Structure 1
Amino acid sequence: MTTATVFDIDGTLANTPSAIAELIEDVVRGLGASPSRAQVLATVGKPLEASLAGLLGVSVDDGATAEAAARYRGRFATDVLSQGPALLLPGVPEGLDRLRSAGHLLGIATSKISSSAIALLEATGILDRFDTVVCHDMVERGKPHPDMALRALADLGATAPRSWYVGDTVTDMTMARAAALRTVGVSYGVDSAAALTTAGADHVVADFPAVIRVLLHATAGTPHDLPGTRPEPTGALT
């Protein structure tokens, strides 16, 4: 039976949250807003237009939102993508290759729009590891609704009981659990281990190699004999 693993990108595979937050803050300050750092960081991993509108204090349909989005996307390549594979967190390429060798089909479910997600995956050199890339503009409802996760499973021909979602935010965990996926939360991204645990992550780990250990152990067993059905606060299977 098919085993699938679906990943978030920002803060899970790529060390982009800080760079993205700095860019968002610079863009909205250039348009007259003065958000706190915490307010900006809270938008990372969420749909861009809605995040920018909230920081600017306008509606998503407001012209200022469109202007901010255009400025952000115009600078994303020079400010973020130019870092290339250096954006990847330690162990990501090797870990993805180990999963593929073990028979996992791999997918992406991200709040980025398609062009931005593909550009980031290409810039970091890992696009070819994934069998599907599902983005916010490809579904009716984004995170925390299950639509992206369900679309990824359908693309991969996989079922939720044998599949996993890996992400760094409470929103990721909410989406995955709504789709009945098992979950690995990573505490090195946006949200803390405690927040991921409270959101119901099946495992919480502190680095990407630990993600791979959890997933490979699961592949060796069955959905019913995995060690621990409640979250591990600092990483299972170390």
Structure 2
Amino acid sequence: MDTPRAIVETFTAAFASMGIQGQDPSAIRATIGLPLERAFSKLLGVPLDDGLVAQGVKQYQVFYKELILPRAGQLIFPGVADGLATLHAQGLSLAVATSKFYASADALLKAAGLREPFSMVVGADQVKQPKPHPEMGQLIMQKLGVPAERAVMVGDTTHDLSMAHAAGMRSIAVTYGVHSLRELESSSPTWIAHGFDDVLKCVQAENGSRGS
């Protein structure tokens, strides 16, 4: 989903509610893909256990409901809804590994009408070590009974690709999201996709070559 602009707006609103002005939008955008606590810690220049971090996270969650969830259906990238429905109908196990908290991710998927195809949604608050650590991917593979050599991570940040590599998965870097092509290539993805149709082709070709 195309959330970067809305995420920057939400961070900006959260900071404003805390009396903090002048945060650089590009600096905020650079934290997308990190758990909220780490993002606020980095942007504020304070330790993770600083009270400002907890306050920022709380305010972000308030504005997230106001600024992002109502626009969820408009944020879906072209081809994603139909592509997910196709993969689900073909019997592939689909899961979400996200740096969002579980409740936020689940609410966003439901608001966008995309929750049904996914067997699992794993948020940053459900693991000890979020992305780029492999724990999230390992948890999903364990719960779904999928070996690493049969798993593919689709992501638009280097955090996604690094998690996949550390977990022994293959990966598809999508170029229409947060990180640039050059940044994505630095994490050595297995495939590069410029649209969700490309993602579908990669997954279907790989699934066909290995058998169902």
TM (norm. structure 2) is 0.94
Residues 1:49 and 2:37 aligned together:
yes
Aligned position for 1:18: 5
Gaps of 5+ in 2: none
Aligned CA-pair RMSD: 1.4
Contact 2:172/2:191 (<8 A) preserved: yes
Question: Aligned pair count?
Answer: 210
Match of 1:210 among 173, 198, 207: 198
Counterpart code for 1:139: V
Deviations 1:16-44 (A, max 9, x none): 11110121133224432533222111111
Q: 1:182 aligns with which of 170, 173, 186?
A: 170
State the partner residue of 1:27: 14
Partners of 1:84 and 1:141 lie apart in 2 by 27
The equivalent residue for 1:226 is none
Residues 160 and 180 in structure 1, CA contact (< 8 A), matched pair in contact too: yes
Contact kept in structure 2, 1:43 and 1:51, CA below 8 Å: yes
Kindly provide the amino acid, as one letter, of the partner of residue 79 in structure 2.
G
Q: Is 1:99 the equivalent of 2:99?
A: no
Displacement after TM superposition at 1:114 (Å):
1.0
Q: Secondary structure at the match of 1:45?
A: coil
How far apart, in 2, do the equivalents of 1:131 and 1:188 lie? 25
Cα distance in 2 for residues equivalent to 1:30 and 1:126: 31
CA contact (8 A) 1:163 1:182 kept: yes
The answer to whether the Cα contact below 8 Å between 1:33 and 1:56 also exists between their aligned partners in 2 is no
1:135 aligns with 2:110: no
Q: In the alignment, which of 160, 163, 173 is matched to residue 151 of structure 2?
A: 163
Q: Quick check: 1:107–1:130 contact (8 Å CA) kept in 2?
A: yes
- Whether the 8 Å contact between 1:28 and 1:56 is mirrored in structure 2 is no
* 1:170-215 superposed Cα distances (whole Å, 9 cap, x missing partner): 1110000000101000010111112211201011111111111111
Q: Secondary structure of the residue that 2:130 maps to in structure 1?
A: coil
What residue is the counterpart of 1:145 in the other structure?
133
Residue deviations 1:44-102 (CA, integer Å, cap 9, x gap): 12100111122122222222112111111011111000013222111111101111122
3-state secondary structure, aligned to 2:65 = helix
Q: Distance in 1 between matches of 2:17 and 2:66?
A: 17
Partner of 1:172: 160
Runs of at least 4 residues off by over 3 Å: none
Structure with greater helix share of residues: 2
Amino acid of the residue matched to residue 121 of structure 1? L
Post-superposition CA distance 1:92-116 (Å, at most 9, x none): 1110111112221100111111111
Structure 1 residues 180-189 or 75-84, which shifts more? 75-84
Taking CA–CA contacts closer than 8 Å with sequence separation of 6 or more, which of the two structures ends up with the larger relative contact order?
Answer: 1
